[in-house]
Amino acid sequence: MCLAIPGKIKSIETQMNGLVRMAKVQFGGISKEASLEMVPHAKEGDYVLVHVGVAISVVNEEEAKKTFEYLKEAGELDELEPASIEQLKDK
């Protein structure tokens, strides 16, 4: 659960009367919503390191792709799609 995963910002919208910037972030085939409140300068097309739904830093594209590829090869991307109860029981 301590993993931070790099992804690309596809779109940005503001919520809560313009106070909160939320992004759709693409991680390979999976898209997730992430808060951009910790990285106020991040813009569409940027790569960000996301931890439990919050972007914690902006990273360059090459770095993002290398890290993502490593996490994918190592089978570490499960937490993007929380396990169902059935999967947990089978573990």
Partner 1 sequence: MKYLSEYRDPELVSQYLEEIKKTVTQPWTIMEVCGGQTHSLVKNGILDLLPKEITMVHGPGCPVCVTPLNLIDKAIHLAEENNVILCSFGDMLRVPGSKKSLLEAKAGGADIRILYSPLEAVRIAEANPDREVVFFAVGFETTAPANALSVLHADRLGLKNYSILASHVLVPPAISALMSDPDTVVQGFLAAGHVCTIMGLEEYYPLVETYKIPIVVTGFEPVDLLQGILMVVKQLEAGKAVLENQYSRMVSETGNTNAKEVIEQVFERTDRMWRGMSIIPGSGYEVRESLQQYDANQKFDVWTVDTPEHAECIAGEIMKGLKKPIHCAQFGKKCKPSNPLGAPMVSTEGACAAYYHYSGQTELVEA
Interacting residues with partner 1 (CB under 8 A): 1-4, 16-17, 19-20, 32-35, 37-40, 49, 51-54, 56-57, 59, 62-63, 65-67, 69-70, 73-74, 79-85, 88-89, 91
Can you give the C-alpha Rg of the chain in angstroms? 14
Rounded Cα gap, residues 53 and 4, in angstroms = 10
Task: Give 29 or 89: the residue with its C-beta nearer to partner 1.
Answer: 89
List the one residue out of 89, 69, 65 whose CA is nearest residue 77.
69
Smallest gap from Cβ 90 to partner 1, in A, equals: 10
Smallest gap from Cβ 45 to partner 1, in A, equals: 16
Burial of 3 (0-12, 13-18, 19+ CB in 10 A): middle
Smallest gap from Cβ 36 to partner 1, in A, equals: 10
Task: Give 44 or 53: the residue with its C-beta nearer to partner 1.
Answer: 53
Type and span of the H or E element at 83: none
